[in-house]
Amino acid sequence: MDIVIRAAIVFIFIWVLMRVIGRRELSSMEPFDLIMLVMIGDLVQQGITQNDFSVTGMLLVGSTVALLTVALSYTNFRFPRLRPVLEGEPVIVVQDGKPIERNLRRNRITLEELHALARGQQPRDPFTRSTSRHRSILARSGIPKVCTGRRAKVKSRILPACPRLTTCLPCRT
Amino acid sequence: MTALPDQLDRKRHVELESRGLEVWLPRAGVVVLLAFLALALANVFGQKIDTARATAAAADLELKAPDAVRPGLIYEVQFTVTAKQALEEPALVLDNGWFDGFTINTMSPDHEVWVQRNGRNVLTYGPVAAGDELVVRLQYQVNPTTFGTREQRVALEDGGSPILAIDHDAVVFP
Indicate whether B4 belongs to any domain. Answer: no
Helix boundaries (H) for chain A: 2-21, 23-27, 31-49, 55-78, 83-86, 101-106, 111-121, 155-158, 165-168
DSSP-derived letter for residue B98 is G
The residue type of A143 is I
Q: What is the total count of domains within chain B?
A: 2
Indicate whether B5 belongs to any domain. Answer: no
On whether ipTM exceeds 0.85, the answer is no
Confidence of residue A121 (pLDDT cuts 50, 70, 90): low
Nearest chain B Cα distance for residue A4, angstroms: 7
Domain that holds residue B16: 10-41
Query: pLDDT value at position A141?
Result: 55
Indicate whether B1 belongs to any domain. Answer: no
Indicate whether B144 belongs to any domain. Answer: yes
User: What's the CA gap between B90 and B160, in Å, rounded?
Assistant: 8
pLDDT for A154 beyond 80: no
Residues within 8 A of A (CB atoms), B 24-83 only: 30, 33-34, 36-37, 40-43, 45, 47-48, 70-74
B94 and B20 within one domain: no
Kindly report the CATH number assigned to the domain that includes residue B134: 2.60.40.3670
> Would you say the C-alpha torsion A118, A124, A130, A135 has a positive or negative sign?
negative
User: What's the CA gap between A153 and A161, in Å, rounded?
Assistant: 15
B92 and B133 within one domain: yes
B62 and B26 within one domain: no
The minimal CB distance from A63 to the residues B33, B42, B74 is found for: B33
The 10 Å CB-count burial string (b at 16+, else e) for A39-71 is: eeeeebeeebbebbbbebbebbbebbbebeeee
Indicate whether B100 belongs to any domain. Answer: yes
Confidence of residue A142 (pLDDT cuts 50, 70, 90): low
- Best to test chain A binding among B25, B31, B34, B36 (most A CBs inside 10 Å): B36
Closest of A76, A99, A71 to residue A86, by C-alpha? A76
B71 and B31 within one domain: no
Confidence of residue A46 (pLDDT cuts 50, 70, 90): confident
pLDDT for A143 beyond 70: no
Beta pairing partners, B124:
B91, B113
Indicate whether B2 belongs to any domain. Answer: no
Q: Using a CB–CB cutoff of 8 Å, tell me whether A70 touches chain B.
A: yes
Q: What domains are there in chain A, each with its CATH number?
A: 2-86 (no CATH), 91-171 (3.30.240.20)
Indicate whether B3 belongs to any domain. Answer: no
Indicate whether B131 belongs to any domain. Answer: yes
Cβ A156 vs Cβ A149: under 8 Å:
no
Nearest chain A Cα distance for residue B130, angstroms: 39
Q: What is the pLDDT of residues A53-79, one digit of tens each?
A: 899 999 999 999 999 999 999 999 999
**Which residues does chain B have with pLDDT short of 70?**
1
Confidence of residue A124 (pLDDT cuts 50, 70, 90): low
Residues of chain B found within 8 Å of residue A5, distances taken between Cβ atoms: 41
B129 and B88 within one domain: yes
B72 and B37 within one domain: no
